């Protein structure tokens, strides 16, 4: 595993980090507790010391599973990255910006974006309890909230840093103007954004800015939620309540399959999976500090961690780039 400094913070994070959205179960067709905990243990044992989660993932379940999984581990050897700002429990009392309805156990939960100071403090305390820790390594706003001034949100994060409750502050899904506004109030360690072979929009503006300002980029959905593994063109099936049934529809399936068939020989020559090739490629892109990779069982976690063992030559990178240009 390779470890990288996150922005100007004192955090050293694993280049491949464990993404804990899927183990929450919500929007992913449920989860298996025992498999999830084994996946976290395997990730840690194979050098993925950074774990990214959020209160919304499983409506608290993801954080609880992580807290249980790391209970007997050395806390100072793990970097916990979590978030705030998606409220589903009604505690916002109508405040914030309506986002969407989440469904869990047959119930609908209206989800609101809320980045107010009071909500940040509330959510942080809840996360600390679920995770079983007294500090968070990186606290990130999950989505921009148009109803709360950015400086209010960032001032609250700065106070939490000063109080020692968080080590560093980050944002997620901010556009360039929002990123610049946030930087006026707090020194950001990172920006977490969607980035993959099929979704490279941030290369135009976000990446140049973060490189210039030394802000780490945490790439989520590098596998496009499993589409780039190639297995959904074969035998894999999705449960009816899995959000990917709709998510995959944004891509031209035949073009993606042709692309994966084109680069597959590179993976095969290295005795690697397509997943490993895709993750390693993502980790090598300019400005990308951390690549999030989800895993629902130990085998998947180990496979993700071992992606960093791959060497991709300049010629192979050029070949992949040329194949991408045809999408």
For 43-88, the pLDDT digits (tens) are 999 999 999 999 999 899 999 999 999 999 999 999 999 999 999 9
Q: Is residue 80 part of a domain?
A: yes
Structure tokens, 105: 């156990």
Q: Is residue 252 part of a domain?
A: no
Place of tokens 């409506």: 59
Number of Cβ atoms within 10 Å of the Cβ of 274: 19
pLDDT of residue 166: 98
Helices (H), ranges, 132-236:
150-163, 176-183, 206-213
Q: Is residue 262 part of a domain?
A: no
Q: How many helices (H) and strands (E) does the chain have?
A: 11, 13
Q: Give the separation between CA 192 and CA 194, rounded to whole angstroms.
A: 7
Q: What share of the chain is helix, strand, coil (3-state, %, to 5)?
A: 45, 20, 35
Q: Is residue 192 part of a domain?
A: yes
| Of 54, 30, 67, 104, nearest in space to 220 by CA | 54
Helices 176-183, 150-163: inter-axial angle, 10-degree rounding: 50
Q: Annotate 121-131 with b (16+ C-beta within 10 A) or e (fewer).
A: ebbbebbbebb
In sequence order, what DSSP letters do the residues of 142-153 get, joined into one string?
A: SS--TTS-HHHH
Q: Is residue 271 part of a domain?
A: no
The neighbouring-strand residues paired with 101 are 110
Domain boundaries, position 8: 3-227+285-297
Give the C-alpha distances (Å, rounded to integers) separating 305 from 210, 275, 294, 308.
Answer: 25, 11, 11, 6
Place of tokens 């080590």: 167
Catalytic residue annotation? 57
Helices 61-69, 117-131: inter-axial angle, 10-degree rounding: 40
DSSP state of 251: S
Q: Is residue 302 part of a domain?
A: no
The neighbouring-strand residues paired with 100 are 111
155 within 8 A of 185, measured Cβ to Cβ: yes
Write out the chain's pLDDT in tens, 327 residues: 999 999 999 999 999 999 998 886 555 455 678 888 999 999 999 999 999 999 999 899 999 999 999 999 999 999 999 999 999 999 999 899 999 998 877 788 899 999 999 999 999 999 999 999 999 999 999 999 999 999 999 999 999 999 999 999 999 999 999 999 999 999 999 999 999 999 999 999 999 999 999 999 999 999 887 788 877 666 556 565 566 666 766 677 788 888 899 999 999 999 999 999 999 999 999 999 999 998 889 999 999 999 999 999 999 999 999 999 988
Give the C-alpha distances (Å, rounded to integers) separating 37 from 97, 156, 173, 191, 249.
Answer: 34, 32, 28, 27, 31
pLDDT of residue 148: 97
What is the pTM assigned to this prediction? 0.92
Q: Is residue 247 part of a domain?
A: no
pLDDT of residue 161: 98
Q: Is residue 124 part of a domain?
A: yes
Give the C-alpha distances (Å, rounded to integers) separating 208 from 56, 62, 216, 290.
Answer: 30, 33, 11, 16
Question: What CATH number corresponds to the domain at position 59?
Answer: 3.20.20.100
**How many domains does one find in the chain?**
1
Q: Give the separation between CA 192 and CA 291, rounded to whole angstroms.
A: 10
């Amino acid at each position: 595993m390779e470890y990288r400094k996150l922005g100007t913070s004192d955090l050293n994070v694993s280049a491949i980090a464990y993404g804990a959205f899927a183990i929450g179960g919500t929007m992913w067709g449920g989860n298996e507790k025992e498999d999830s905990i084994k996946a976290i243990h395997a990730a840690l044992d194979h050098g993925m010391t950074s774990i990214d989660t959020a209160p919304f993932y499983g409506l608290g379940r993801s954080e609880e599973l992580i807290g249980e999984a790391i209970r007997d581990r050395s806390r100072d050897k793990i970097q916990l990255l979590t978030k705030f700002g998606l409220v589903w429990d009604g505690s916002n009392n109508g405040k914030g910006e309506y986002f969407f309805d989440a469904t869990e156990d047959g119930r609908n939960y209206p989800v609101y974006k809320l980045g107010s100071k009071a909500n940040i403090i509330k959510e942080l305390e809840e996360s600390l309890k679920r995770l079983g820790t007294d500090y968070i390594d990186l606290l990130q706003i999950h989505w921009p909230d148009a109803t709360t001034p950015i400086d209010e949100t960032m001032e609250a994060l700065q106070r939490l840093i000063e109080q020692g409750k968080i080590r560093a502050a980050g944002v997620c899904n901010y556009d360039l103007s929002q990123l610049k506004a946030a930087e006026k109030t707090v020194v950001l360690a990172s920006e977490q954004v969607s980035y993959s072979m099929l979704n490279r929009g941030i290369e135009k503006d976000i990446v140049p800015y973060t490189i210039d300002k030394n802000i780490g980029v945490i790439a989520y959905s590098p596998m496009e939620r499993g589409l780039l593994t190639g297995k959904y063109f074969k035998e894999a099936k999705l449960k009816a309540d899995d959000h990917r049934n709709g998510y995959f529809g944004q891509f031209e399936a035949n073009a993606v399959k042709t692309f994966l068939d084109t680069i597959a020989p590179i993976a095969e020559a290295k005795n690697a999976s397509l997943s490993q090739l895709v993750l390693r490629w993502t980790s090598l892109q300019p400005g990308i500090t951390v690549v999030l990779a989800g895993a629902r069982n130990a085998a998947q976690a180990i496979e993700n961690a071992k992606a960093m063992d791959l060497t991709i030559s300049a010629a192979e990178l050029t070949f992949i780039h040329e194949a991408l240009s045809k999408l």
